[in-house]
Amino acid sequence: MTIPQRYPARQHALNVKHHLQTKLSDLSKTSIFLSGSLQESDKYSDSSKPFKQERYFFYLTGVNIPGSHVFYDLNKEELVLFLPEIDQDDVMWSGLPLSIEDASKKFDVDKVVYSNEIPNYLSKYDVNLTTDIDKNNQIYKNQLTPGQTELFYALDESRIIKDSYEIELLRKAAKITDNCHYAVMSALPIETNETHIHAEFMYHAIRQGSKHTAYDPICCSGPSCGTLHYVKNDDDLGTKQSILIDAGAEWENYAADVTRSFPINGEWSKEHREIYDSVKEMQDKTLELIKPGQSWDELHLLAHKVLIERFLKLGIFHNGTKEEIYESGASTIFFPHGLGHLLGMDTHDVGGHPNYEDPDEKLQYLRLRRTLQKGYVVTDEPGIYFSPFLVENGFKDVNKRKYVNEEIMKKYYPIGGVRIEDDILVTEDGYENLTGITSDADEISKIVKAGIAKGRSYFHNVV
């Protein structure tokens, strides 16, 4: 398949129309009007906040220009991009913006005009569907119909299936992320604080052209690895034994989301390796079954069953059968989150249909509750955590506590937790792992040791 040279905005608009037609039978008097994000300043300051384009708008345009809008004529199937009018003061400080002519060449739209023409387009139809009213479209609110569930459905269903262009953007984000994780594993002589791990990842991402991470990196060590979204990233590594880094680069608004766990000195302790191998088996067994038609719920529950079998062998679970422990929910003390989620422009991408009120606590935090289809990109990220907070909370249920051998369990507290996370494309008859950085425990050990052998003087750093 030939990859188009421009972000396929018109095809994306058609995708949305086709899904919208399944919910609204008559579109003859309807259009779609979406607004991008504005470049905003910090409160009480003229310093600009980092710009992040509105994702639904980007899906229909591929445009990162602040203050833009798009109109999609559902009858003519015409996509019109509106650029902000030229601000003379802004030109003085920031230079000339993209011209109408250059924008027409760069973006896959039918027409490019300035925003002063927006009222002429909105007056064509009785209903101009939009996601919401915000600062960028407030002036047109009387001509807009915001918040229709049918529009969100059409946008979400369109975004779930990734086309070849989007997959290449995700591949690029994943490749950058691979290199960053390799750099972190390789630079232990200069990583004496969690902040250094964060800095090493960011440095290598920016050097590869990714100026923004997809989310705040999670860089933790020792017991802090038991906190799922730890973002303090400021503790000394000291004599701890474990590191967990969950970080992903972003490329043209498309995200990678990868987690690796490894020993600080390159040598796996007995307990650390036991838990790592358990998580690896959870991931391996779920990966094997990924293909179109596979229930994600079933894969998530399979991961719980693998954990239970491993814990029985390690002696962390006792006094019950696999079935009894599974029914008790005791595994949620140590694996409280979902197996994974959809990935795209958002790290936790749209359309997953989570149910946080699910009566089965094993499924409550599962962000993807669908049957897999070709073109989905998901994360497969099982984890095992030894968090005093989670344990204490779980032990309030005596039916869970009775299955846990507390004396053995406490031996694993210094590890904190282990998570392995890869980005997975669902293909015609299986899957492709977009993540290339190794998760093999022995290979990871070699990388860490090779970096340590080079010594601090090998690395270029000023502090």
pLDDT digits (tens, 9 = 90+) for 83-125: 999 887 777 777 888 999 999 999 999 999 999 999 999 999 9
pLDDT at 3: 57
CB atoms within 10 A of CB 400: 18
pLDDT at 91: 76
pLDDT at 88: 79
pLDDT at 86: 84
Does domain 9-160 fall into CATH 3.40.350.10? Answer: yes
Whether 141 shows a pLDDT value over 90: the answer reads yes
Question: Percent of the chain having pLDDT more than 90?
Answer: 94
Range 152-165 average pLDDT: 98
CB atoms within 10 A of CB 196: 20
Tokens 């998901």 -> residue: 378
pLDDT at 95: 82
Select from 143, 147, 165 the least CA-distant residue to 62. Answer: 165
What confidence tens digit (pLDDT) does each residue in 390-421 have?
Answer: 999 999 999 999 999 999 999 999 999 999 99
**Sequence ranges of the chain with CATH classification 3.90.230.10:** 164-458
Whether 34 shows a pLDDT value over 90: the answer reads yes
Whether 46 shows a pLDDT value over 80: the answer reads yes
pLDDT at 100: 96
d(CA 326, CA 362): 9
Select from 102, 83, 255 the least CA-distant residue to 176. Answer: 255
pLDDT at 4: 65
What confidence tens digit (pLDDT) does each residue in 336-356 have?
Answer: 999 999 999 999 999 999 999
**Sequence ranges of the chain with CATH classification 3.40.350.10:** 9-160
Threshold 0.85, pTM exceeds: yes
Mean pLDDT for the chain overall: 96
Helices 296-314 and 270-287: crossing angle in degrees, nearest 10, is: 150
Range 123-152 average pLDDT: 97
> 3-state SS of 231-286?
CCCCCECCCCCEEEEEECEEECCEECCEEEEEECCCCCCHHHHHHHHHHHHHHHHH
Q: Which two tokens stand for residue 115?
A: 């925003």
pLDDT at 1: 44
Range 304-323 average pLDDT: 98
Question: Percent of the chain having pLDDT more than 70?
Answer: 99
Q: Which CA distances in Å does 452 have to 14, 36, 455?
A: 53, 46, 6
Whether 236 shows a pLDDT value over 90: the answer reads yes
pLDDT at 129: 98
The CATH-assigned architecture of domain 164-458 is: Alpha-Beta Complex (3.90)
312 — pLDDT class (breaks 50, 70, 90): very high
pLDDT at 255: 98
Residue 249, phi then psi, degrees to nearest 5: -80, 165
- The answer to whether the beta carbons of residues 73 and 124 sit under 8 Å apart is yes
Whether 81 shows a pLDDT value over 70: the answer reads yes
pLDDT at 460: 86
Residue of 2 and 287 predicted with greater confidence? 287
